[in-house]
Amino acid sequence: MSKTTRVVTLTINDKEVSAREDESILTVAREHDIDIPTLCYLEGLSGWGSCRLCLVQVEGIPKLLPACMTYCAEGMKVKTDTEKIQNYRKNILEMLFSERNHVCSVCVSNGECELQSLAQKCGMDHVSLPYRFPSYDVDSTHNLFRNDHNRCVLCTRCIRVCDEIEGAHVWDLAGRGIDTLVISELNEPWGDSDTCTNCGKCVQVCPTGALVQKGTAVAEMHKNRTFLPYLNAMRGNNG
């Protein structure tokens, strides 16, 4: 990276915009009210680029690129909402819904779930893939919170917020591919964790009903996902 940050000009959906070259396409698009759906991305945390919902088309590059992890460059021509991209987004959501047991009607996060609202927004009206109906445990050993793997989308927001903001690093990923699990400590019950500070940041940033407060019934889990930018600003971080 050069010492001085250059300002570049690019187009997003044929609209000319200027941006710093250290800004992601997603950041610049949102500054200009161009909506790109995201799931693993959360303002205030480092980028991860795993959910692929923010894929965009950059002219001259044959594959689609994640807008959250792709930086702006001079002359870039970006399309965010082509038919191909819309279909990819629907396919990704269908895969997420079919991989675990997402039953909106009985979920504590019903009505406040990012996966649920993405399905509505992106027009995913049914899952054409066969459901896997996997069998996953629910970890209720923590005094305050619960981890339900059936509702996890592996976005890793919990892992990042615990590591980057709280500095405790309770969470990690174990396993590979479709069998990946978010685990606490070395795959021990959450309630036995020595490092968990009970701060609940992981619960607040979780986009679905995977990490929730105990004692909540259907549609009662209200999350505050906007505290991160304020927290970072107060700490003098740029994140």
Partner 1 sequence: MSDTITKLKVATIWVDGCSGCHMSFLDMDERILELAPHIDMLYSPLVDSKIIPDELDLVIVEGAVSNDDDLHRVLALRKAAKFMIALGDCAVSGNVPSMRNPIGTRPCFDRAYFEMTDINPQIPTKHVPALLENALPVHQVVKVDLFVQGCPPPADAIYFVLTELIAGRVPDPAKVTRFGA
Binding footprint of partner 1 on the chain (CB under 8 A): 97, 101, 103-107, 110-111, 113, 116-117, 119-120, 123, 125-128, 130-131, 133-136, 219
Residue 132 CB, shortest distance to partner 1, in Å, is 9
Tell me the one-letter amino acid at 123: G
Closest CB to partner 1 among 9 and 117? Answer: 117
Closest CB to partner 1 among 111 and 200? Answer: 111
Residue 173: which H helix or E strand, with range? strand 171-174
Query: Tokens 């991989």 sit at which residue?
Result: 99
Closest CB to partner 1 among 156 and 208? Answer: 208
Residue 37 CB, shortest distance to partner 1, in Å, is 14
Task: Write down the number of H helices and E strands in the chain.
Answer: 6, 10
Closest CB to partner 1 among 73 and 219? Answer: 219
Distance in angstroms (rounded) separating the CA atoms of residues 93 and 100: 12
**What distances in angstroms separate CA 181 from CA 26, 34, 148, 159, one per listed residue?**
27, 33, 11, 12
Q: How does strand 7-12 pair with strand 77-79? A: parallel
Residue 149 CB, shortest distance to partner 1, in Å, is 11
Closest CB to partner 1 among 11 and 110? Answer: 110
What backbone phi and psi angles, to 5 degrees, belong to 100? Answer: -125, -165
Residue 178 CB, shortest distance to partner 1, in Å, is 15
Closest CB to partner 1 among 100 and 201? Answer: 100
Residue 12 CB, shortest distance to partner 1, in Å, is 25
Distance in angstroms (rounded) separating the CA atoms of residues 100 and 92: 13
Residue 27 CB, shortest distance to partner 1, in Å, is 28
Distance in angstroms (rounded) separating the CA atoms of residues 104 and 193: 29
Distance in angstroms (rounded) separating the CA atoms of residues 2 and 61: 24
